[in-house]
Structure 1
């Protein structure tokens, strides 16, 4: 999902190496990668188009040679994304209707100050590490508004979006755009403005964008052989999962005890259950309740009969 590029010297080297580190990567089965190769390719085409338009906007607005190149497209949790960012940095909050959630357009604070310097006729160069002033902020907002218009154009093959620029923040730890474990799609770009360079990122919630990627019509471009191979793989996976043994539990409602009561328990003690006599038991797997049942027997064996899920009013 990443394009190779040579390591860069300077302050961006650490961030680029963290995003493109070599070696094995742990796989979390509780958070599987859901982006298929076709989805990544679709996003790659859109973001490469955006990168070219982004570079054109920077060059024409700042009157200095600028370049934007796509580095990678990753699926990360929001906490992983925030942890990898520098502090301070420019984080523009963006709404992209009709996609739900808050999106983040981020790039380094020094690059933002260089852009302001060029817009005001300056030569760029080294900039102090400080937040934007009340005069500089509208200049950056105007630039970002033009850039987001190009993002709307790049996303037209996927879905129609209407980017709307919100507030600008500087401390990643104070930005609560999503839950820490929420899946995000993060696109990273190498951004050069004159001699200044950084890694810019666009972070979007996974769910709303993934639903649009599923309806991107890629299936219509598959050949008959590819479609048959895809259907055969789906059948094989379904057959394999259907025969996989799963531990199932039939449980009463849990009982709450204090620490002292738990320590004082001895053989022969009676622990009253709070489960109503008329309420069915919960059928669970991996801590998830997926059905309800009443206890009984089948011949000489204990058994349970699955019943409709009771309503809250009935319970």
Structure 2
């Protein structure tokens, strides 16, 4: 039914599992990236395998991870890889018979029907090398959107064993028709939606800001930084912990000595929120205890302690002199 006079043909269903959807502009950007990847991938296969190969983009969909996994056959090649600097794990998937055909061509074979079995210890490095070069083409295809550094993690044959995300995580799935010699299959690339989506809209969002909006955003950023820098936090100086039996703790009396595992040549840890951000040696400043921040010790290095009378906080010493 067509729309006339600006009236809607009816209410549109809302999927609460997908509160954010790809717009037409986002789909177009992804289409350009994946079409570039398909051309580069086909060229890589043709030159590497010395067999006529073709890759063509079929569709781009937004799914949940469990929907994507449920739609894959088993066994199949599920190559999981990281997409630094973005978080999450992505997937390159294609049929096991196509993988066997690629290896057959790399070893000088004619291709043709392939056995359905896991790859051997000799075949696996060959496939790893081919996938690594394929990820290089994916990096090239997405250069206009984000500078990816994809890196291979591992390969699974059963999609149910591929732990690349939670079942409800949104993903972007692109499907390709893949042909290597006489072998044909459907290949997919699965990218985490939450990692890619901000890159699809972030740069465009900055371009529509007015000068007043940009100035207000910068002022808000400066205020947040200034507020964080002036916020008081609890800081402690700690010895290395020592393990004791409950019986020893219960039997402690005033005057008992508890040996510490902390060497006299090892500085103390300066800690806040259980995060060690500096090291220091103890001493005194006037009638108060103080500590002097020292360089972080390197493995096997024993820092030299200064006499207690020379230790103190530099800023506090300056305030005393004033």
Moved over 3 A (4+): 218-221
TM-score (norm 2): 0.59
Kindly indicate whether residue 54 of structure 2 is the aligned counterpart of residue 64 of structure 1: no
Match of 1:103 among 80, 90, 102: 90
Name the CA shift for 1:196/1:26 in 2 (closer, same or farther; >3 Å): farther
**Is the CA contact (8 Å cut-off) linking 1:125 and 1:195 kept in structure 2?**
yes
Q: Within 2, Cα distance between the matches of 1:83 and 1:213?
A: 27
- Displacement after TM superposition at 1:211 (Å): 0.9
Q: Within 2, Cα distance between the matches of 1:191 and 1:26?
A: 34
Residue equivalent to 2:192: 205
Q: Within 1, Cα distance between the matches of 2:118 and 2:13?
A: 37
Describe the superposition over 1:161-194 as per-residue Cα deviations: whole angstroms up to 9, x where unpaired.
0010111110011112111111000011111001
Q: Within 2, Cα distance between the matches of 1:149 and 1:200?
A: 17
Residue equivalent to 1:147: 134
- Structure 1 vs Structure 2 CA RMSD: 1.7
SS at match of 1:69: strand
- Displacement after TM superposition at 1:214 (Å): 1.2
Describe the superposition over 1:239-293 as per-residue Cα deviations: whole angstroms up to 9, x where unpaired.
xxxxxxxxxxxxxxxxxxxxxxxxxxxxxxxxxxxxxxxxxxxxxxxxxxxxxxx
TM-score (norm 1): 0.60
Within a 5 Å distance, the mapping from 1:219-238 to structure 2 comes to none
Residue equivalent to 2:105: 118
Count of residue pairs the alignment pairs up: 197
Unaligned runs of 5+ in 1: 1-24, 222-315
**Is the CA contact (8 Å cut-off) linking 1:33 and 1:75 kept in structure 2?**
no
Q: Within 1, Cα distance between the matches of 2:144 and 2:88?
A: 21
**Is the CA contact (8 Å cut-off) linking 1:38 and 1:218 kept in structure 2?**
no
Bigger radius of gyration among the two: 2
Residue equivalent to 2:21: 34
Name the CA shift for 1:35/1:155 in 2 (closer, same or farther; >3 Å): same
SS at match of 1:67: strand
SS at match of 1:198: strand
- Displacement after TM superposition at 1:29 (Å): 3.5
